[in-house]
Amino acid sequence: MVAPVEAAASGRATTSAATAMPTRAVSLRRAADGRKDVADSVELPGPSVSEEKLRRWLTCLGQPARLPDPDLLALLDAHGRTPHPVTSVAVGEAARELFTEAIERLRPAKDVPRAQQLPYLVLSTCFVHGLKWTSAADRLGMSPRQLTRERARAIRLLREQLLSVSRLPTLAVAQDRIPAIAQFLPRPAVSRSLLESMSRSRLVHVHGSRGIGKTSLVAELALEHARRVPVMWLRFRPGVNASLVALAFEVGEHLKVSGHSELSDYLHDALAAVDVGIMTRLLLRGLADGPRLLVLDDFHQAATDPAISEFVDEAAERLGSLRVLTVGRHQLDGRGVGAQFAVPPFTTAETHALLAQLDVDAGREIVDAVHQWTEGLPHLVTLAASWLKTASPTDVAAVTTSLGRQDQVQDFLLGAISDLLDAADRAILDAASVFRDRFTDESLAFVSQQTLGAVEDASRRLVRRHLASRSRDGDVAFFHASVREYFYARLSALERAALHERAADWYAERHHVAEARYHRGRAGSG
Bridge partners of residue 341, in order along the sequence = 206
Distance CA 499, CA 285 (A): 44
Burial 44-81 (b: 16+ CB within 10 A, else e): eebbebeeebbbebbebbeebeebbbbbbbbbbbbbbb
Residue 350 pLDDT > 70: yes
pLDDT at 41: 30
Average pLDDT, stretch 29-44? 32
Vertex 192: Cα angle to 190 and 198 (nearest 5) = 105
Residue 446 pLDDT > 80: yes
Sign of the alpha-carbon dihedral angle for 152, 154, 157, 158: negative
Average pLDDT, stretch 35-39? 31
pLDDT at 54: 86
The percent of residues in the chain predicted with pLDDT above 70, rounded, is 82
One-letter amino acid of 148:
T
Distance CA 368, CA 9 (A): 38
Distance CA 480, CA 211 (A): 8
The percent of residues in the chain predicted with pLDDT above 90, rounded, is 21
Residue 11 pLDDT > 50: no
| Maximum mean pLDDT: which of 41-55, 391-405, 406-420, 470-484 | 406-420
Sign of the alpha-carbon dihedral angle for 287, 292, 297, 299: positive
Residue 99 pLDDT > 90: no
Count CB atoms within 10 A of the CB of residue 305: 17
Residue 17 pLDDT > 70: no
Range scoring the smallest mean pLDDT among 106-110, 191-195, 243-247, 374-378: 106-110
pLDDT at 40: 31
Which one-letter DSSP state was computed for residue 130? -
Count CB atoms within 10 A of the CB of residue 189: 11
Average pLDDT, stretch 284-298? 90
Q: Which residues contact 14 (CB under 8 A, 6 or more apart)?
A: 22, 23, 24, 25, 26, 28, 467, 468, 469, 477, 478, 479, 480, 483
pLDDT at 98: 86
pLDDT-derived band of residue 333, with 50, 70 and 90 as boundaries? low
CA atoms within 13 A on the CB side of 408: 9
143 burial level (CB within 10 Å; 0-12, 13-18, 19+)? exposed
Q: pTM here?
A: 0.64
Residue 303 pLDDT > 80: no
Residue 400 pLDDT > 50: yes
* Residue 7 near residue 85 (C-beta atoms within 8 A): no
Distance CA 345, CA 375 (A): 7
pLDDT at 476: 60
Distance CA 146, CA 3 (A): 41
Average pLDDT, stretch 344-367? 90
Residue 314 pLDDT > 50: yes
Which CATH fold topology does 172-342 show?
Rossmann fold (3.40.50)
Burial 287-301 (b: 16+ CB within 10 A, else e): beeeebbbbbbbbbb
Distance CA 13, CA 437 (A): 8
pLDDT-derived band of residue 23, with 50, 70 and 90 as boundaries? very low
Range scoring the smallest mean pLDDT among 61-70, 323-332, 422-431: 61-70
How far apart are the two ends of the chain, measured CA to CA in Å? 24
Distance CA 311, CA 324 (A): 11
pLDDT at 269: 76
Residue 12 pLDDT > 80: no
Give residue limits of the domains in the chain: 51-162, 172-342
Q: What value does the mean pLDDT of the chain take?
A: 79
pLDDT at 261: 85
Closest CA relative to residue 13, chosen from 483, 431, 473: 483
348 burial level (CB within 10 Å; 0-12, 13-18, 19+)? middle
pLDDT-derived band of residue 334, with 50, 70 and 90 as boundaries? low
Closest CA relative to residue 30, chosen from 464, 526, 525: 464
User: In 375-422, which residue ranges form alpha helices assigned H by DSSP?
Assistant: 378-388, 393-402, 406-418
Helix (H) or strand (E) holding 17: none
Q: Over the stretch 458-468, which tens digit does the pLDDT of each residue have? A: 888 888 888 88
Residue 289 pLDDT > 70: yes
Q: Dihedrals φ, ψ of 308, to 5°? A: -65, -50
Strands (DSSP E) found in 112-215: 203-207
